[in-house]
């Protein structure tokens, strides 16, 4: 079994979001059959009238399996705290931050795995989110930005473990973003 804050999962099976695949009916089916944790695809801030605004989340309370999770793109700190509170106000029971997406369109706007180049910024984002919400916070991350940043995941997770944040969990993808789905992943313990 695994715990995420007050939520006890029946097993350690986690279904990560995949664009165009893990829609609500698919997540519901997986939850019925596997009884693990499913995470919907992330939402991100959009430009509206010259300002960055967080779009209203899809209704996550209607038919969504519990614990209801809202995944958000990791983004610079000035946008994070407010958006996370907004999602909790709209029914999110867990906030999941995506700092693992390697897509160019995501990395080009300083979100997803591009943030792994800046450990201090990642720490500030995590601190802002953890302080802004009263629900568990989880993080999807990669081993680092490239081969030279292999220990990034350890460095990012360590302060939260030392602080005893039981509601903070981190999932690490064994490849850095530049490998894409090719190349050899690194699956030795990462200290997270």
- The catalytic site residues sit at 101
Q: Phi and psi of 121, rounded to 5°? A: -65, -40
Contact between 13 and 171 (Cβ < 8 Å): no
- Give the DSSP letter of residue 39: -
Distances (CA, A) of 134 to 76, 119, 149: 20, 24, 31
Query: Count H helices, E strands: the chain?
Result: 5, 10
Whether the bond into 67 is cis, omega within 30 of 0? yes
Q: Which two tokens stand for residue 116?
A: 């792994």
């Amino acid at each position: 079994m695994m715990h995420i804050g007050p939520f006890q999962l029946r097993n350690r099976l986690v279904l990560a979001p995949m664009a165009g695949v893990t829609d609500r009916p698919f997540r519901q089916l997986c939850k019925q059959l596997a009884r693990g944790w499913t995470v919907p695809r992330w939402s991100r801030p959009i430009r509206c009238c010259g300002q960055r605004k967080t779009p209203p989340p899809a209704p996550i309370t209607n038919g969504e399996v519990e614990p209801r999770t809202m995944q958000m793109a990791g983004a610079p700190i000035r946008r994070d705290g407010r958006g996370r509170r907004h999602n909790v106000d709209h029914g999110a029971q867990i906030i999941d931050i995506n700092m693992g997406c390697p897509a160019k369109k995501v990395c080009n706007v300083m979100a997803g795995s591009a943030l792994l180049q800046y450990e201090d910024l990642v720490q500030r984002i995590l601190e802002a989110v953890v302080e802004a919400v009263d629900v568990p916070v989880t993080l999807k991350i990669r081993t680092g930005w490239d081969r030279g940043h292999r220990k990034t995941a350890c460095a990012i997770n360590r302060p939260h473990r030392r602080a005893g944040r039981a509601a903070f969990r981190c999932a690490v993808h064994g490849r850095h973003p530049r490998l894409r789905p090719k190349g050899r992943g690194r699956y030795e313990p990462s200290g997270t």
